[in-house]
Structure 1
Amino acid sequence: MISKSRFLIPLLCGLLAITAQSCFDSDDYDMDRLSDKVEWTPNMIAPVGYGTYSLWYLLNEHELDPNDQTIFLEGNDLVIRHREDDIFTYDASSVLSFPNQLSQGFALPLPPVGLPGPIPIPVQNDTYRISTGFAGVILSQVDVDANLQFTFDNPLNADISLDISLPNGTIGGALATQNFTIPANTNGHVENFDLTGLSLTFPTPSSDNEVALQFEGEILDNGGVISGTGALAIQYQIQNINFQLAYGDFGQQSIDIGTGNIDMDVDFWDDIDGEYRFSNPKIHVHLRNSVGVPFAINANITGYSSSGGSQALNPLPLQPNNYPKTLADVLDAPNLETITYDNTNSDIVDLMALPPSDRLDYMGNVSLNPNVVDIATEPNIISNTSRIDADIEIEIPLEFTATNLTLKDTIDDIDIDDADKIMNAAVVITAENGYPLDVTIESIQLTDAAFDVIDEITDNEVIDAASVYTSGPMIGEVDPASIKQVSHEIALTQSQIANLNLAENIIINALVSTENGGIPVKLKGDYELKFTISVQAQLDLSN
């Protein structure tokens, strides 16, 4: 990857060109733009090069895989952007489930016997409570596939014909009913009531979620006198509930969104030190929702810097509004909605100023039904395919204030020979800074192979920033009329010249700051830094 502080590299070329053939074509070099501030008379002027660097060129990461790019040019605006998909997902089973149901017993009273059949069995009712797996769930309607299994003990010496129905249930638009014949004098006789396609309503919704069952039939003629004592014992259980659709109030549940971390992999966070504050960073949570339940997101993100510092986002709870509210919405394509954490509802400015160069950790929960549900007018609705998926996108426009940002760049494996021939030397820089950033070359360090500093070339000349508009619609943007050309040289001492022979690496340190009375500057892709660099040296030609 190309370094984000790449605009420092040309300054190094001046030192290298003292004893090496320049890689630039001197015919293309504008000698008239060189400074005349050096008082000694050089006998070698080596034009190192010139360049025009747009800010987008300097910051563009040139990733081979576009998915690895984190800085983007959008229009003319520079934006750090990072996205992670599916950081959180919950489906219908997280909201509503039907665990194994309990078996329930019912003793169906039988009419007096001792007579020939058939003998009518009057209507009897029972209720069965459906377990939903979560406290506080109130059902008003469910569409399910299920099986209702019965086990009968018949104490009579005659078969019993029994009609069993669900008064509030329909299958295919007709009453859900089934007839069974229970043989005489049998125990443990099993029958199954297939409830595939059952649509069941709860006329008076309550947390009991009770289903009504109705029993009616007759004791069949056995060709003689019917005898036996006791009730018809019935044990029954609803099994294998696979809900298709449900209405009701699914309660104030809290669903854990889990924990995870995000590495934005923004390289320049590792390349700079200092204080800076982005003025308008945002974290977007993109939701794809087919769960017809209102909810609030109670989550937090904590950033960690490479140096061990941390800062929490501390967002206000946000409640999405665009959740599905009708059956058509639930069954159609997911509703799309984005909620955004910004400088009005969180501490995101402090978080990004950390910076989170190590990682961002997230955790939290989703609270269902933060407000009271009116089942009659706006019930919760969920289908067996309902789900919510959440993606997170971090957007940081390069609009900021900065103080003493330290940028560091390194050239490795330097080989400078014959420095003993140099009597005097200076690097001459002429620059036209169209960036809204003051740039100071603080030092050029000569190091050995272990990167221990053996000498340092200091230079406190400032390449002045272009001024920005301080009011109006272009506030924070560069005023082109303020761009000026400046020129200065960096003179080398005799000790520094001598140490060139020992240098294996060169490290450049620069300071970058913004001024403008605290007004955040806006970095645009077409801002340009123009420069020319030459090396002026006085050589001992007799050596």
Structure 2
Amino acid sequence: MKRLPVILFFSALMLLSSCKKDFSKITASDWNPNVVAPFIQTELTLRNLMGVDSSLQIGDDSLMVFYYQRDSILNITADNLVEIPDTVTSYYEFSLGDLTIGDIMQAASVTLNDLLPYVDPAVADTLSANDGNTTIFPPFQLQSPVTVDLSPYEQYETLTFSAGYFDIQITNQLPVTLTNIRFDIMDVVNNSVVQSVVLEQLFAGEVAHDTVFLKGKTLSNTFSYVIHSVESEGSYPDSVLIDLSKGLSLQMNARDMYVVSGVAKIENQIIYSTHEWVNLDFGDARLWEILFAGGELQYQMQSYLNLTLNILLQLSSASVDGVVPENNFDLPANSFYESSWGLANMDIDLTRDTNQPFNRMPIYLELVVQPTVNMVAFDSSDKVKATFVAKEMTAESVNGNLGKHLYLIDEDTLQLDLSFFDNITGQIIFDNPVLTFSYQNGFGVPIVAHTNLYGVNPITGDYLDFGIDSIVFNYPSTEGEVISDSLIFDKNNSNIVDFLAERPDKLIFSGDYQTNWNNDTVNFITRTSLLKANTEIRVPLVFSTTSLVFTDTVDFLNGQADIPVGSGALHLNVDNGLPFDLEISLLVPDSVTGEIIDHVDFDMIKSAVVDAGGNVLSPTQSDVTAVFNQSFIQNMSRANTLQLRAKTVTAEGGSIPVGLYSDYKLSVAISFEAKLQP
């Protein structure tokens, strides 16, 4: 039905084009302006119109039904009850990481007196002769490089930096402008250039700055400035004070330094401060608190550092008689330490880990590097290794109840195949969709599931909650018994109608389930026990709608531009056995832009006569017409496809839900009438 008017329309055009008549040779006297193509009849069932779709089924009464089924949406197998393990061993490694080095500063000056041996002798004599006098400062320039050595830094010998800066400050103390200033900061030990500095000019009294980025550099503690060029045009015609003790002031400040290796004096600093977690495996039980009757927690620390550490260990969520167990001790360079806590009467909160709030015992560790008097070698990869061994554990009591466990349901996505909706827009309100949740339960344990069940609209991305808050499973009363049951969710106890109106392409399922949720009953679980749940969605295609639009695109051969059609019409005689009113339009899209450039509209096709239940009683006959003019034919020459749009409304203006039965029929007879032009 969706393709029929287009196919018939072009069948009529082909009839005209196949006549092979030369219309230009017909005289006005024998011209017959009206041509009527033969009637064509066809009959389509609703099954033909909906197409082939594996998710569509036909019931015994011919009602079409959407059906989806998924096995094992929930599958819980048996595990042992809580078992206190005999031994739990945990290993940890702590790297030294980046260390900080305190800020340091060095200053140097290059005076006029220092520069005299490196300038023209006549200029040097003039400057020397006028030291302390106010006169014209002569022009000068360096004739060879000047080296200024800095004292070695005392805090280190060599360092490899992960961050930090050398801030360079250059001050012109002379009464004249200096130009073409070029110097290198040299690492003397490594004989390498740390930074080259170039200043085009520096006015009298002016201060300039530069920065050395230390990240990734390995440097010694000894530097020098190698000044390659300094020039001045002098002060002419002005007289200025010549003072040989003045010159260039060079100051280097080191700041924000972090280092990964080297030889240095190390300051006091925290290198590690956090919680580590000992995972106490209690099998299937999830415990929040445990009071031990006995056992021991041993710990060992092995240092591979050339540094002394002060270490604080604390069982931060535990207490013995109201006191938190802790130990503070020094771990000398490259040494070993071991000790233990008795677990008897120790009460431990196992919920502190927000990522897993059960069965996790926190141990707080703080590692502090002690300051060194002498230089020591270090590397950020140097390690401290720790071992914690909990052994011979026995429990006095637990909090969490052996049978009360909260299990998270991993998010699962169920892909729904609603492809028969692909060419349909508008809202559909299904009358009686049903989701069935069937299960088999061999656990002698009360279980409730708190579900998050929602769908996603593939077009808008909107989420819609299915509206199922909880599912309570029946459970067997004797060992070996298996309960088989099902839960049904429909429009009376869920949001399934609104849910399907959003046309989700997938169903997302998550949440949690809890055992012994309503009492402390005695449970029984065998190793072969399981709870397995399946789901199915059954949607009889019984619905109401006030605005449902089918759209289809049809290719056609564009070769009818030479037919002298002036105007015409498509006449449809329809026996509508479908429970819809139909408004059909034929749209012409531009083949380049896709813009709709023309259309023809058929008159309303009335729906079949239906009863109060939306069932078709008898077909309704309609004679409808779609009129077109010559410009419509011309516009078709700009298209290579046509779009057929059918807007439907269920009977009585959309107020009556109607069912789609596979044997509903639409019978159509169509003729094509056109006025030809000479």
SS in 1 for 2:633: helix
Amino acid at match of 2:45: S
SS in 2 for 1:11: helix
Instruction: Give the equivalent residue in structure 2 for 1:72.
Output: 57
Amino acid at match of 2:657: P
Which of 492, 498, 516 is the matching residue for 1:344? 492
Which of 131, 134, 144 is the matching residue for 2:285? 134
Instruction: Give the equivalent residue in structure 2 for 1:83.
Output: 69
Deviation at 1:435, TM superposition (A): 1.3
The answer to whether the 8 Å contact 1:429/1:532 transfers is yes
The answer to whether the 8 Å contact 2:572/2:670 transfers is yes
Instruction: Give the equivalent residue in structure 2 for 1:317.
Output: 470
Q: Structure 1 residues 252, 97: closer, same or farther in 2, change over 3 A?
A: closer
Aligned equivalents of 2:460 and 2:284: distance in 1? 46
Aligned equivalents of 2:460 and 2:500: distance in 1? 14
The answer to whether the 8 Å contact 2:51/2:420 transfers is no
Aligned equivalents of 2:473 and 2:15: distance in 1? 64
SS in 1 for 2:616: coil
Q: Structure 1 residues 324, 50: closer, same or farther in 2, change over 3 A?
A: farther
SS in 1 for 2:535: strand
Instruction: Give the equivalent residue in structure 2 for 1:535.
Output: 672
Which of 423, 441, 457 is the matching residue for 2:599? 457
- The alignment status of 1:393 with 2:536, answered yes or no, reads yes
Instruction: Give the equivalent residue in structure 2 for 1:42.
Output: 34
CA displacement 1:424-453 (0-9 Å, x = unmatched): 322111111111111111x21112334613
Q: Structure 1 residues 133, 82: closer, same or farther in 2, change over 3 A?
A: closer
The answer to whether the 8 Å contact 1:416/1:503 transfers is no
The answer to whether the 8 Å contact 2:429/2:545 transfers is yes
The answer to whether the 8 Å contact 1:416/1:500 transfers is no
Instruction: Give the equivalent residue in structure 1 for 2:547.
Output: 404
Q: Structure 1 residues 293, 500: closer, same or farther in 2, change over 3 A?
A: same
Q: Structure 1 residues 257, 354: closer, same or farther in 2, change over 3 A?
A: same
Which of 48, 54, 57 is the matching residue for 2:48? 57
Q: Tell which structure's C-alpha radius of gyration is larger.
A: 2
SS in 2 for 1:314: coil
The answer to whether the 8 Å contact 2:46/2:661 transfers is yes
Q: Structure 1 residues 419, 90: closer, same or farther in 2, change over 3 A?
A: farther
CA displacement 1:247-267 (0-9 Å, x = unmatched): xx8523222221122221212
Amino acid at match of 1:345: N
Q: Following superposition of structure 1 onto structure 2, how do residues 255-404 of structure 1 map, counting pairs within 5 Å?
A: 255-305=407-457, 306-321=459-474, 323-330=475-482, 335-356=483-504, 358-375=505-522, 380-404=523-547
Q: Which has the higher strand share?
A: 2
CA displacement 1:264-320 (0-9 Å, x = unmatched): 121233322212211211222222332222212211222221222221112142313
- The alignment status of 1:491 with 2:627, answered yes or no, reads yes
Aligned equivalents of 1:438 and 1:419: distance in 2? 37
Aligned equivalents of 1:451 and 1:11: distance in 2? 24
Which of 524, 527, 530 is the matching residue for 2:661? 524
SS in 2 for 1:20: helix
Aligned equivalents of 2:63 and 2:595: distance in 1? 39
Deviation at 1:99, TM superposition (A): 6.2
CA-based RMSD of the aligned residues comes to 2.8
The answer to whether the 8 Å contact 1:400/1:521 transfers is yes
The answer to whether the 8 Å contact 2:85/2:393 transfers is no
Q: Which has the higher contact order (CA 8 A, sep 6+)?
A: 1
Aligned equivalents of 2:435 and 2:421: distance in 1? 18
Q: Structure 1 residues 448, 73: closer, same or farther in 2, change over 3 A?
A: same
Q: Structure 1 residues 468, 136: closer, same or farther in 2, change over 3 A?
A: farther
SS in 2 for 1:307: coil
Amino acid at match of 1:340: I
Aligned equivalents of 1:315 and 1:390: distance in 2? 15
Amino acid at match of 1:350: D
Aligned equivalents of 1:99 and 1:449: distance in 2? 74
* Structure 2 portions without partners, runs of 5+: 17-31, 89-280, 289-390, 395-400
SS in 2 for 1:256: strand
Q: Following superposition of structure 1 onto structure 2, how do residues 501-512 of structure 1 map, counting pairs within 5 Å?
A: 501-512=637-648
The answer to whether the 8 Å contact 2:63/2:662 transfers is yes
Amino acid at match of 1:78: M
Deviation at 1:511, TM superposition (A): 0.7
Q: Structure 1 residues 41, 484: closer, same or farther in 2, change over 3 A?
A: farther
The answer to whether the 8 Å contact 1:419/1:498 transfers is no
Instruction: Give the equivalent residue in structure 1 for 2:617.
Output: 479
Aligned length: 360
SS in 1 for 2:3: helix
The answer to whether the 8 Å contact 2:75/2:532 transfers is yes
Deviation at 1:463, TM superposition (A): 1.1
Give the alignment's TM-score, normalised by structure 1.
0.61
Give the alignment's TM-score, normalised by structure 2.
0.49
Aligned equivalents of 1:425 and 1:415: distance in 2? 18
CA displacement 1:25-52 (0-9 Å, x = unmatched): xxxxxxxxxxxxxxx97324144x3222
Aligned equivalents of 2:489 and 2:514: distance in 1? 18
Deviation at 1:136, TM superposition (A): 7.3
CA displacement 1:458-509 (0-9 Å, x = unmatched): 3251111123222xxxx221222xx221112211111102222222110011
The answer to whether the 8 Å contact 1:316/1:346 transfers is no
Deviation at 1:57, TM superposition (A): 2.6
SS in 2 for 1:495: helix
SS in 1 for 2:460: coil
Instruction: Give the equivalent residue in structure 2 for 1:222.
Output: none
- The alignment status of 1:448 with 2:590, answered yes or no, reads yes
